[in-house]
Amino acid sequence: MSVAIETSGIDSEYQLFRELRFSKLDGMIERSVHNRRKRKLFPYTKELRKSWLSD
């Protein structure tokens, strides 16, 4: 989900959760859970970005 969010152009947590209000995902994920998962995945998303830029 984190990678999809980055590629869609959503650059802030506020904007993300504002957009989720109007989708079927509303209320399915809390901000704290999202932030914790995003921090844990940071090294992997960093590597993905590097590989995309090198192609």
Exposure b/e, 18-43, CB count within 10 A at least 16 = b: eebeeeeeeeeeeeeebeeeeeeeee
Does this model's pTM top 0.85? My answer is: no
The rounded distance, in Å, linking the Cα atoms of 51 and 3 is 13
How many C-beta atoms lie closer than 10 Å to residue 45's C-beta?
13
pLDDT digits (tens, 9 = 90+) for 13-24: 888 888 888 888
pLDDT at position 55 over 70 = no
The CA distance from 13 to 31, in Å, is: 8
Over the stretch 32-41, which tens digit does the pLDDT of each residue have?
888 898 889 8
Q: How far apart are CA 21 and CA 47, in angstroms?
A: 30
